[in-house]
Amino acid sequence: MNYVGEGIKKIDGMGLIKGASSYTEDIALGHNYLTVKLLRSPHAFARIKNIDTTIASKIEGIECILTYKDVTDKRFTLAGQSFPEPSPHDRRILGEFVRYVGDEVAIVAGKDEESVLKAMKLIKVDYEILEPILDFEKAIDHKTIIHTEKPYTSFNYGNEHMRNIAAQDLLVEGDVEEELANSDVVIEHSYHTQSQIHGMMENYIAVTYMDFQDRMNIISSTQIPFHVRRHVSKILDIPRSKIKVIKPRVGGGFGGKQTAPMEIYPALITKVTGKPAKLAYNRKETHTCTTTRHEMKLTVRLGATKDGIINAVDIHGLSNTGAYGEHAWTVFSVVGQKTLPMYRAKARRFYGEVVYTNMTTAGAFRGYGATQGTFALESAVNELAKKLDMDPSLIREKNLVKQGEINPTLNSFVGEKSIELASSTLDECITRGKEMIGWDKKYPMQKISPTKARGIGMAVTMQGSGIHGIDTASATLKLNDDGFYTLLVGVSDMGQGCDTVVAQMAAEILGVPVSKIIVNSTDTDVNPYDPGAYASSGTYVTGNAVIKAANLMVEKIVEGASKILNVPEEDIEFNGESLLLKDGKEISLDEIAYKLVSYKGQNQIMTTGTWGGYTSPPPFIAGFAEVEVDLETGKVEMVDYVAVVDCGTVINPNLARIQVEGGVAQGIGLALFEDIKYDAKGKMISDTFMQYKIPSRCDVGDIRVEFKPSFEPTGPFGAKSIGEVVINTSAPAIADAVANATGVRIRTLPITPEKVLMGIVNAEF
Amino acid sequence: MEIKLKINGINKEVTIKEGEYLQSALKKLGFLNVRKGCETGSCGLCTVLLDGKPTLSCSTLAVRGIGKDITTLEGESVEVAKFAEVLTGEGADQCGYCSPGFTLTVIAMKRELESPTIDEIKHYLTGNLCRCTGYMGQLRAVKKYMEVK
Ligand code: FES
Ligand code: FES
C-alpha cells in the first residue's frame, strides 16, 4: 500500500488554515442579496388568530413579507433522509399553529438588515396562547395535542399524533421476561440523557439566486445537498432539473446539517421575487431554531447469572423529538440497533415511544441514538459488575459479541436474517485500553488527598457503517487530457476529511500520488448522487464506490491504450505513471491521456462506480476515563481518556486520530456540562456560548488514542467507519469513573458538581 | 461615520454605523476570514491582533481600532504558512472554521511567551474554541511550532 494507511495531509487543509474564501458566506459574493429574516414565535404553543403586515410592508426597502396565508399548506419533513423519508411529514413552511418558542411566523425580505429588523417589529401578530407540553414524560395522552392533523408517514412506524407520539419502535429477540425470571441477579435503573447542541462553529447559512438558465441555485452549508434539492423541489414546486445545490466547505455539522432547517426560506423568497436572497442564522437561531440531540429516558433491565453471564437485556425508551418529528423514529431505533447486538444474551428487547413536546426540534446528532443507548446500557453493565462484585472488564470479556459469531440483532431490522460479525478486535481494544490507562493498578479509585479522589471507569460501544440496504453512493473518475484525474463524489466533507480519504483510495488503485487527483464534491449538477455525509457512510459506502470507479478506470485506460497503440491489451502493463509494453517501450500516462481525448483517440474516459451495502459493519471503541473529583465541591475534572478503536483498516491514521479525539471531546461535553435549559414558559435560555458551555481546551484533560485494526471483508481496503462511534463511550465511562471515585452514581446527564456533591452529602447523611 | 484603520500596514477607510464592531468593519473591507462564531466574546473565531495582542473583534468597537496596528491572517502570511504546515501535518485541521482566529492567537503567543509550559499554552489559547478537533492535535502542532518539548 502506498497511499492507504498513510497520514496524508487533508487536501483542503492548507487553504482553509490560510483563510482562503471557501465557506458559503465567503463565496456568496457579488449578488445583491436580499436580507431574509424570520419572525419567530415568542410562545411555546399558540394559534395565530390574526397577522397583519400592512404597516411592516410599507417600510422602505422591504421587498416581501410572507405569512402562512401566502404559502402552500403542503406538509413535509426537513430530515435529510433517503426518499421516502422515515420521518413524519408534520411541518409546513409557515402554519397557523406555532409549536415552540422560535417557530417560524413570517418570512421577511428586504434590501438590508436594518429595514428587515424594522419591519419585523411592525408585524402585528395576535396569538391565542395554548398550554404547552414542556416535560416529555408527560406528553403521552396529555390534554394538549401538538399535532391535531394526521401527518403523512411513508410506512407505519407508530405515529399516533393524537397521543403526541411521533414514532414507536420494537426490536425483540427471545423471551425477555422469562430470562429475567431465571436470572440470579436482575438490575433495573433509568438513565436520562439530555438534549445537546451541535455547536458547530459555522452557523447555518444559505443563499439562493436564479441563474442565467433560470435555474434556482442554492449555496448552503449542508451535509445533504441531494436531499436539499429534493426538499426544495417538492416543497416549493420547482422541478428538480431546475435546482442546483452547491455545497462549499462546511464549517462543521455533526449531524445538525443533516436536517435542512432553513434553505426553503430564501429559496421561496427568490422564487417569489426573482431576486437573490440570503438567510444567515445567528448563534441564537443556530441553537434554538434548528435541531438538537434527542433527550431520552432509558430504563434498562439486565438479568445475569452470579458468574456474570448476561441472560437478558431489556431497554425501554422514551425520546423527546420536540415540536416536529425529524429523525424521530430512525434515531430512536438506532438506540436498540446499536445496543442489543453488543452482548450475547438469550433474550433482548428494545421498545418505546418518541413523543412530541413544545420544545426545540430534535434531529440527527453524531452517534444518532447509539450515544444515548450506550450511556444507558454501559452504565447498567457497570452497575451489574458492582452488584456482582466483578471487574467490569471481566463481565465484558464474558459476554461481548465476538468476530465470527452470528448475531440476531446485528442487522437490526426485525425479520431480517441474522448475520455474522465479520470483523471485530473489541477484545483487544479492551486489553490495550486497560494497559494504557493502568487499569489493574488504578481500578476502582485512588485517594489523592483528604479532599480529592481519582476514579477510573470504562465503556464499550459500536456504530454502523452506512445504512444497509438503503445508502447507495456513486463516484465518477475522469481522466483529464493532461494525465491527472478528477474524482467526483457527492459525499459532503464538513471537516472530517472524507474528500482526502476517498482521494487516497483512488490514488492507491490508480497508482498516482494524491496530488494528481482533484476531488470535486461541490454541486448536484456535476457530482453523482450520494445521500450525503451521515450514518458514518463516507469512508465505507462512498469509498467502495470510488474503488469500483478506479478499478474500471485502470481497465479502460489499458483498453484505450491498446486501441491507440494497436497492441493487444495483454501486452500492456499499467503502473499508474506509464504504460509498459511487452516490447520494452514505455509511454507516459500524460501522453496517452492526451491522445485519448484528441482526434486520434476520441475517447474521454470517465468511469463510475455505484455501491450500496447489505450489511452495516460496526466499528468498535473501548473508552476508559480517569477523573479527579473534588469531594468538597463535587467538581469533576478530566485527567485522562484512553480510546482504543477498531475501525477496520485505518485509511488515514492522522485524520482518524483527530476524529477520535474530537468525538471523545464532544462526549466529554455531553458527560460533564452541556445542557440545554428552558425557562418556565418554554423559551430556550442556553442559546449562546455564554450559557451553553462546550468543552474548551482546559476541560478535556488528556485524550489518548490507539487503533486495533481489524479487516472488514465488505469494506474498502478492509475499512469501517469512524466518525460517530467515537462519541459514545465518554459519558458512561466518565459516569463510572465518578461512581468509583465517590460512590455516587449519576444516572442523569450532565454530571454536574451539584449532582455529585448532593450525592456525597446525601450518602453521608 | 467614516473612520481610518491601518490594517496589515495599509491605511483603509470604512464607513461604519454608531456602535459598529471591528469584526463587521473588517468584513466590509473584504477581510472575510475574520469570522464570527458566537457574537458573545466566547469563541475566539473573530480574533485579530491589535498592536500585536490577540483581540476579539466581535466585541471591540471599530473606533477602538483607530490609531492601532490591526493584523489579520493576511498580514502574517509567512508565520501562517509555517503554522499551517505543522497543523496539517498533525491532521489537526478539520472544518477549518476556527483556524484563522486560532492561528493568529498562536502566532501572538509565540512572540509573547518564552518557553511556556503546556499549561501556559493551554491557558493562553483557552478562549479559542474548536468543536471539531478535541484540541489534542492542535496542542501537538503548537508544541512543534513553538519548539516546546
Ligand atoms: S465571534 Fe468573537 S468571540 Fe466568538
Ligand atoms: S476545526 Fe472545526 S471548529 Fe475547529
DSSP per-residue codes, A534-562? -TT-IIIIIHHHHHHHHHHHHHHHHHHHH
Phi (first) and psi of residue A734, to 5 degrees: -65, -40
How far is residue A491's CA from residue A538's CA, in Å, rounded to a whole number?
6
Three-point CA angle A508, A511, A516, nearest 5°: 95
Lookup: cell for A668: 466529554
Cα(B101) to ligand 1 centroid in Å equals: 9
How confident is the model over A703-740, as pLDDT tens digits? 999 999 999 999 999 999 999 999 999 999 999 999 99
DSSP letter, residue A91 = B
Q: What is the identity of the amino acid at A725?
A: V
Pocket of ligand 2 (CB under 6 A): A 201, 252, 495; B 94-98, 130-133
Specify whether the CB–CB gap between A514 and A18 falls below 8 A: no
Whether A665 sits inside 8 A of B123 (CB atoms) is no
Q: CA B79 → CA A504, B51, B75, B84, distances in Å?
A: 29, 17, 9, 8
How far is residue A690's CA from residue B145's CA, in Å, rounded to a whole number?
31
Whether B95 sits inside 8 A of A661 (CB atoms) is no
> What's the mean pLDDT when you consider all of chain B?
96
Lookup: cell for A485: 484525474
How far is residue B14's CA from residue B2's CA, in Å, rounded to a whole number?
6
CA atoms within 13 A on the CB side of A198: 34
Which chain B residue is nearest to residue A283, measuring alpha carbons?
A: B38
**pLDDT on residue A413:** 59
Average pLDDT of B16-23?
Answer: 96
Q: CA A6 → CA A26, B53, B91, distances in Å?
A: 32, 38, 11
Question: Cβ neighbours of residue A391 under 8 Å, at least 6 residues apart?
Answer: A385, A443
Specify whether the CB–CB gap between B119 and B61 falls below 8 A: no
Specify whether the CB–CB gap between A166 and A91 falls below 8 A: no
Whether B95 sits inside 8 A of A664 (CB atoms) is no
In chain A, which stretches have pLDDT less than 70? Answer: 412-416
Q: Which long-range contacts (CB under 8 A, 24 or more apart) does A444-452 make?
A: A444/A740, A445/A740, A445/A741, A448/A628, A451/A630, A451/A631, A451/A632, A452/A628, A452/A629, A452/A630, A452/A631
Lookup: cell for A264: 426553503
Cα(B130) to ligand 1 centroid in Å equals: 12
- Which residue has better confidence, A604 or B147? A604
Q: Which atom of ligand 2 is nearest to the CA of B93?
A: 1
Number of H-type helices and E-type strands within chain A: 19, 29
Specify whether the CB–CB gap between A437 and A446 falls below 8 A: no
Please name which of B60, B42, B20, B27 lies closest in space to residue B98, comparing C-alpha atoms.
Answer: B42
Please name which of B63, B65, B60 lies closest in space to residue B7, comparing C-alpha atoms.
Answer: B65
How far is residue A316's CA from residue A172's CA, in Å, rounded to a whole number?
11
How far is residue A418's CA from residue A403's CA, in Å, rounded to a whole number?
14
How far is residue A762's CA from residue A754's CA, in Å, rounded to a whole number?
12
Distance from CA of A705 to the nearest CA of B (A): 10
A380-418 burial: b if 16+ Cβ within 10 Å, else e = bbbbbbbebebbbbebbeebbbeeeeebbbbbbeeeeee
Which chain B residue is nearest to residue A284, measuring alpha carbons?
A: B38
Whether B93 sits inside 8 A of A25 (CB atoms) is no
Cα(A521) to ligand 2 centroid in Å equals: 20
Phi (first) and psi of residue A269, to 5 degrees: -60, -45
Q: What is the identity of the amino acid at A667?
A: G
Kindly tell me the sign of the dihedral angle through the C-alpha atoms of A396, A398, A401, A404: positive
How far is residue B100's CA from residue B72's CA, in Å, rounded to a whole number?
8
Number of H-type helices and E-type strands within chain B: 5, 5
Whether B37 sits inside 8 A of A283 (CB atoms) is yes
Residue A52, strand partner residues: A124
**pLDDT on residue A412:** 59
How confident is the model over B79-95, as pLDDT tens digits? 999 999 999 999 999 99
Interface of B with A in 43-102 (CB under 8 A): 43, 45, 72-74, 77, 80-81, 83-85, 87-100
How far is residue A572's CA from residue A558's CA, in Å, rounded to a whole number?
7
Please name which of A555, A492, A562 lies closest in space to residue A520, comparing C-alpha atoms.
Answer: A492
Virtual torsion, Cα A591, A504, A531, A477, nearest 10 deg? 10
How far is residue A455's CA from residue A624's CA, in Å, rounded to a whole number?
11
Pocket of ligand 1 (CB under 6 A): B 36-39, 41-46, 56, 58
Q: How confident is the model at residue B149 (pLDDT cuts 50, 70, 90)?
A: low
Please name which of A596, A726, A703, A594 lies closest in space to residue A656, comparing C-alpha atoms.
Answer: A726
Lookup: cell for A369: 441514538
Kindly tell me the sign of the dihedral angle through the C-alpha atoms of A268, A272, A277, A279: negative
Question: Coil, helix or strand for A571?
Answer: helix
> What percent of chain B has a predicted confidence (pLDDT) above 90?
97
**pLDDT on residue A746:** 98
Specify whether the CB–CB gap between A102 and A48 falls below 8 A: no
**Cα end-to-end distance, chain A, whole Å:** 63
Cα(A291) to ligand 2 centroid in Å equals: 20
Please name which of A251, A534, A224, A494 lies closest in space to residue A365, comparing C-alpha atoms.
Answer: A534
Q: Which of B96, B123, B127 sits opposite A17 (nearest CB)?
A: B96
Specify whether the CB–CB gap between A334 and A536 falls below 8 A: no
Residue A174 burial by CB count (10 A; 0-12/13-18/19+): exposed, middle or buried?
middle
**pLDDT on residue A763:** 86
Specify whether the CB–CB gap between A339 and A369 falls below 8 A: no
Specify whether the CB–CB gap between A9 and A499 falls below 8 A: no
Specify whether the CB–CB gap between A647 and A722 falls below 8 A: yes
Residue A169 burial by CB count (10 A; 0-12/13-18/19+): exposed, middle or buried?
buried
Whether A201 sits inside 8 A of B137 (CB atoms) is no
Cα(A103) to ligand 2 centroid in Å equals: 29
How confident is the model over A174-193, as pLDDT tens digits? 999 999 999 999 999 999 99
**Furthest C-alpha separation in chain B:** 50
* Torsion region of A646: left, alpha or beta (phi above 0 gives left; psi -120 to 50 gives alpha): beta
Which secondary-structure segment (H or E) carries A310? strand A310-322
Domains and CATH numbers, chain A: 25-130+199-288 (3.90.1170.50), 135-198+292-413 (3.30.365.10), 422-464+614-765 (3.30.365.10), 473-611 (3.30.365.10)
How far is residue A106's CA from residue A125's CA, in Å, rounded to a whole number?
10
Which secondary-structure segment (H or E) carries A110? strand A104-110
3-state secondary structure A201-249: CCCCEEEEEECCCCCEEEEECCCCHHHHHHHHHHHHCCCHHHEEEECCE
Note whether ipTM > 0.95 here.
Answer: yes
CA atoms within 13 A on the CB side of A530: 44
Distance from CA of A462 to the nearest CA of B (A): 20
**pLDDT on residue A8:** 93
**pLDDT on residue A416:** 66
